[in-house]
Chains A and B, each alone.
Chain A
Amino acid sequence: MASAVRRIFSNIYAAITSSERNRAARRRSSGSNVYQEEFRCYSVCVARLAIMVMLAILIGLLTLLTWHFTKVYTRTSLNSLAYGLRYELLQRPILRMWKILNSTVEIATSQVKLSEYVIRKYSKAENQAQKVELYEVMRDITWALFSSRKALNSMSIKYRNGFVQAFHRDLRDKNTYYIYSNLNNYTMVEPYSMNRSSPHQEWNDQMIHGNVSAIWYREPLDPDTGRKTGKQKEIPPDELINIAGISQVPDGAASWHVAVSKFTNSPLLSAALPVWDKDRGSIVAVVGVTTALYSVGQLMKELVEIHGGNIYLTSQEGWLLATSSSTRLLRNSSSGFTLTMAKDSEDEIIQSAAKWLNKTYHDKGPMNHKVHSATAILGQQRYYIDSFFLNLTRLPMVGVLCIPRKNIMGKVDAREIKTLIILISASVCILVVGCICIFILTNGVSKEMNLRAQLISHLDARRKAEASSNFKTQFLANMSHELRTPMAAVIGLLDILLCDDSLTNEQNATISQIRRCSTALLRLLNNILDISKVESGKLVLEEAEYDLGRELEGLVDMFSVQCKNRNVEAIIDISDDMPKVVRGDSGRVIQIFANLISNSIKFTTSGYIILRGWCENLNSFSYNENFFVDHRALWAAYQKKIKRKGLDEKKASKNDNTMILFFEVEDTGCGIDPSKWESVFESFEQADPSTTRLHGGTGLGLCIVRTLVNKMGGEIRVVKKNGAGTLMQLYLLLSTPADIPRESYQLTYAEHNLKVVLALNGRMSRAILSRWLHKLGVPIWEANEWNELTLVLQELFKPTSYEQSLMYECSEVESLSKEGVEMSIFIIVVDIGMLNISTDIWKEQLNFLDAFNRRAKFAWILNHDTSNAIKIELQRRGHLLMVNGPLYKTKMIQIIEAVIKQSNLEQQEKNIMWTDAHERLQIDSRPSRTKSSNESEITETNSTGTSQNEETNQENFTVYGVVSNCFPKLTEVHSEWDRSASFPNDNSNCEQQIRQADQKVKNGQKALEGLHILLAEDNLILQRVATIMLEQMGAKVVVVGDGVQAVEALSIQIEVENFKTSCESPSYDLILMDCQMPKMDGYEATKAIRRAEMESESHIPIVALTAHAMLSDEAQCLEVGMDAYLTKPIDCKLMVSTILSLTKCRT
């Protein structure tokens, strides 16, 4: 135990010192991590040790207690048991002793009584005869008593006159003797008289012993009858027995003493009693009784035989009276037999016990109290020693009992040691096992702690990394936002400059270049903003219905210009089952495709770019092996969408029908290395970094695309393509409003007996179109170039060969075609590129075509750079059906419908030539407006003016396809300005453009005509400036100083409106709201206004004015219900465009 404690202490000490050392080491080295590690280790060590120590203490205590209790209880019970036993053992010899004593006393007493009686009777004895008679009587009485007690050794009576009568049993030879003294020498009377005065003094032994003349006689007797059996013999006095004399009863009371006789080897107990003469009050005789103590020793022996050990009795002085051993009690000394002292006994045990008692109690103790000791060591063994004090009058005795301990406790002692050993070994085992367990446990715990600490530190690191990433994003967002504003201004100013007449060509070119660069820069900023928006999770997709097909066509139109310049075909191939109207964020969808297509264009130098699209209903969606859709991901996305929608508006989702729209963008560019297929979607990642120099770009486009696609519940990836180039596949989950039936293109063109000649340069687009038309049941002839076209035309319109060719080309419409050439409508779609424009040959080519003009209808596919001269020439020649390239299905349908309509008209007015001016049809050559592209695609030429007017009013629509602008995607922030600069100009020259722009600017000056605007602004200067700005634009402005007034002004308005529905009072069309104002700031005011509006269900556009210019402010503005956001200082144009977009939206 002690060593264990020492070890623990040494361990703790080691831990402390090492931690000290570590502390010192830490001071030296900065790597506190190491220190912490070690410290943790040591603390674990210490904890472990502490637990172990506690366990050890606990187990030790348990062991000790168990040991103690078992030991103590057994011992005490055993002790008490042993004590009782010993007491019993001692008690019995003592009782025997008592008995002996009692009987002796009884005999003596009865002898005394009888003697008294007899002596009184004969007290008047006068003569010798009477005296003899007295002595005879006395002899008989004494004999009777003596014979009745066999245990008596002797019985004597000594008369006053010195006469002695005694009976004696010799225990050695079993004889009984009568001893008496010679009567002759005694006078009977004298002593009586003499003694009267001093009765005690004259009784002395001297008188008797000194009476030498006395003769003692001994006669053997028959022990049973008392008859004389032998002759009397003379013996010396006092030879055989002690005769109790007067000296032994000096005070007249009974006395005891231990005597030794010559005839027995055991001490004798003798008692002496005086016989009184009552009348005279003197002692007349002394009766003596002796008893051998032999029987006590016998009993002791018997007792000890069972239990072992020794018992002895001593007198108070230490003389041995009786022992359980068989050693002699008397010593034969020079003066005859004497008693031995206990400490001189021949028995070693008794001797040593007596010595031990003496030593322990210094000779005085044992007489006064009882001694019980369990620990006396006698010889080699441990003994129990008990002593008892027996207080007899004149003869106090001490009994001593010695029992070897092993006789009583031997088994117990042996068991005790075994138990102790077992207990200790068990507890040691438990301790060891416990320590091992603790070690393992604490090891596990410390390991876990370590892991946890590591985890925490990792988490910390991750959080930091995320925070820095967030910070970066935030920074980018803020920066780009801040940068975008000046960029917008730069572009706007450049546009103004471009409109200036006075510029030289060189300047004009330079400025155009600057503008292009600025637009590129702006686009980059937009990308960054998008990325950061997406990354910071602020991008919220709109949910609005829009025509996806039209948007995509507009997109292709827009890119076709770029493609044409690079000699790349831009083709759109959207399947007929595509839903016409889908619900989603059109801007973002278009952004996806714009990014993809522009990317493709960038890397494609020749060939084509195809945008394919088809769709599947999610419910009836069957797994398509060619596509990569992951079913589970799809369903997960679908569920999410449903859930989100469910949160937004529950009733809307009921009608919705979610579709999976699949798209492919394929190009024939340089392609992407398969190893980069995934990484191209990372931000700032490009397949080949070296291409940056060649193609430019930041590598943000695809990243944005992917995040957007994912946000719409879809996926995008690059897939393997046969041949050169890249094939991107993506799908989107978009819902379609169920109530709008999907328009089917199952047009029955076959009924109209159509026949189409496709003379297009683009191989792919022609193939796609012809396949589609073929499916619709329209016979087609294809031509790749001019010569082929002439051949086809000649064959077609040569009556003889026509039938053959028709049969050859499309046998399924044979029956129809048999009705004749006249019945069928020929449509000849000719690409303007077929004509050789560089030289004057095109006029001759037109002349050639004129020959067929009567029989067929020509539709011309124009290019963006087709000069006006050619157009005019075509019109002049009656080719009025002109569309802008590229040609795709929708345009084809328009062409066909126009032709059918015309032919119907033709049939109605058979005699009127369809070339009549009123019937002239031209397909609107402005591809600038996506919204109206379908409706206004085919319009009368003379309605362009009105359409222009319309456009000036509808300014908030995104514009695509700007001829002079290679970077057509501008955000709506400056689209208004952009539009004004890039107004319809497909073939008009610069001057036209400028004029239109000027006109536009003038219109813009009064752009806000008739608008009522409430301006809430506390800053007087801003108030003034904004008021003047707005008033110059023609708006009516009401100024209030704070939010409270703004709310009041509005509430009055609402009340007034409620009061009289005829709205004469100024109802505000818009509120310009400063964000920071006294009393009530802009946010609060907006909230209040919106709350108020909840009741009336109206919605006043609120534009925030703020000097913060941070994204978070914008977010906050929009959150509280503002519609737009302007930063101070107010940019006039920006403000106007914002206001217009909002007010138009409303109307």
Chain B
Amino acid sequence: MAAVPQLQRQFIEYTTSLYNEGYLDDQFTQLQKLQDESNPDFVAEVVSLFFEDSEKLLNNLATAIQQKSVDYKQVDSHVHQFKGSSSSIGAQRVTNVCVHFRNYCEEKNLDGCLRCLQQLKHEYILVRNKLEALFRLEQQILQAGGSIPMME
């Protein structure tokens, strides 16, 4: 077990890198700020909600887009939801892909949609891994008896 300061530093660096690489934005910071004594696992709760929601949406999207005649309206509404949820937790890159996706939807560009779906999946998995890693780190810190450093 690494020492708490080291873990904390690692945590800060990791988080900063996430922000710098654009995986997350201030919305996530806001979430973290909302987490307090009354809601100790708020961030994790919301993020896991996001994971569930996202996986459902991704499945829906994949089935919707593989239809013979693609119902772009439906796809669009799925993407819209995805965009809403991803922006709410601050998964910035996912949100951005969603924006592109919606544009393609409006153009009814099937190729673009498929590409975007792939990208979306990719980004989603990426952000999921990152967040899971972050939570692991957080757990480690907590187990080591340290406190989670706040990002400003």
Residues of A within 8 A of B (CB): 489, 1018-1022, 1024-1025, 1028-1029, 1031-1032, 1076, 1107, 1128-1130, 1132
Contacts and interface: CB of A to CB of B under 8 A. Distances in A.
Interface stretch (B58-66, B78-86, B129-137): B78-86
A940 to B, nearest CB: 41
Given A1028-B39, A1107-B83, A1021 B53 contact: yes
Given A1028-B39, A1128-B87, A1107 B80 contact: yes
A1029 B81 CA distance: 20
Interface of B: 26-27, 30-31, 34, 36, 38-39, 42, 45-46, 49-50, 53, 77, 80-81, 83-85, 87-90
A1024 B49 contact: yes
Contacts of B87: 1107, 1128-1129
Contacts of A1128: 84, 87-88
Given A1020-B49, A1025-B30, 14 more contacts: A1019-B88, A1021-B50, A1022-B85, A1022-B88, A1024-B42, A1024-B46, A1025-B88, A1025-B89, A1031-B38, A1107-B83, A1129-B87, A1129-B88, A1129-B90, A1132-B30
Contacts of B81: 1018-1019, 1076
Given A1107-B80, A1132-B30, A1019 B85 contact: yes
A310 to B, nearest CB: 105
Across the A-B interface, give the 9 residue pairs with the lowest CB-CB distance, nearest first: A1129-B87, A1129-B27, A1021-B85, A1028-B34, A1022-B88, A1021-B88, A1019-B84, A1020-B49, A1107-B84
A489 B81 CA distance: 24
Nearest to B51: A1021
Given A1019-B53, A1020-B53, A1076-B77, A1025 B31 contact: yes
B91 to A, nearest CB: 10
Contacts of B30: 1025, 1029, 1129, 1132
Residue among A1028, A1032, A1130 having the largest count of chain B Cβ atoms under 10 Å: A1028
12 contacts: A1018-B81, A1020-B85, A1021-B88, A1021-B89, A1024-B42, A1028-B34, A1028-B42, A1031-B38, A1076-B77, A1107-B87, A1128-B88, A1132-B30
A1028 B42 CA distance: 9
B25 to A, nearest CB: 8
A1021 B46 CA distance: 6
B67 to A, nearest CB: 20
B39 A1022 contact: no
A1022 B77 CA distance: 16
A1028 B84 CA distance: 17
A1029 B31 CA distance: 9
Nearest to B83: A1107
A1021 B49 CA distance: 6
Given A1019-B53, A1021-B53, A1022-B84, A1032 B36 contact: yes
B114 to A, nearest CB: 23
Nearest to A1024: B46
A225 to B, nearest CB: 142
A1024 B39 CA distance: 11
A1076 B76 CA distance: 12
Which of B30, B77, B84, B89: most chain A CB closer than 10 A?
B84
A1130 B88 contact: yes
A1028 B88 CA distance: 13
A1107 B81 CA distance: 9
A1130 B33 CA distance: 14
B45 A1024 contact: yes
B27 A1029 contact: no
**Max chain A CB contacts within 10 Å: which of B50, B81, B90?**
B81
Contacts of B84: 1019, 1021-1022, 1076, 1107, 1128
A298 B38 CA distance: 159
B55 to A, nearest CB: 13
Contacts of A1032: 34, 36
Contacts of B36: 1032
A1044 to B, nearest CB: 17
A1025 B83 CA distance: 15
A1021 B80 CA distance: 14
Contacts of A1018: 81
Contacts of A1025: 30-31, 34, 46, 88-89
Nearest to B36: A1032
Contacts of B53: 1019-1021
B80 A1076 contact: yes
A872 to B, nearest CB: 38
Contacts of A1022: 84-85, 88
A992 to B, nearest CB: 24
A1128 B81 CA distance: 11
Most chain A beta-carbon contacts within 10 A, residue among B27, B81, B83, B88: B88
Contacts of B89: 1021, 1025
A1031 B42 CA distance: 13
Contacts of B50: 1021
Contacts of A489: 26
B34 A1029 contact: yes
A421 B85 CA distance: 99
Contacts of B85: 1019-1022
A1024 B89 CA distance: 10
Contacts of A1130: 88
Nearest to A1132: B30
Nearest to B54: A1021
A1022 B90 CA distance: 11
Nearest to A489: B26
Which of A1021, A1025, A1107, A1132 has the most chain B CB within a 10 Å cutoff?
A1021
A1031 B50 CA distance: 20
A933 B119 CA distance: 58
B82 to A, nearest CB: 9
A502 to B, nearest CB: 12
Q: Which of A1024, A1129, A1130 gathers the greatest number of chain B CB atoms within 10 Å?
A: A1129
A1018 B84 CA distance: 10
A1074 to B, nearest CB: 8
A1097 to B, nearest CB: 34
A1130 B27 CA distance: 8
A1132 B34 CA distance: 10
Contacts of B88: 1019, 1021-1022, 1025, 1128-1130
Contacts of B46: 1021, 1024-1025
Contacts of A1031: 38
A162 to B, nearest CB: 139
Nearest to A1018: B81
A507 to B, nearest CB: 15
A376 B85 CA distance: 116
Nearest to A497: B152
A1122 B118 CA distance: 38
Contacts of A1024: 42, 45-46, 49
Contacts of B38: 1031
A1020 B51 CA distance: 11
A1028 B53 CA distance: 19
Contacts of A1076: 77, 80-81, 84
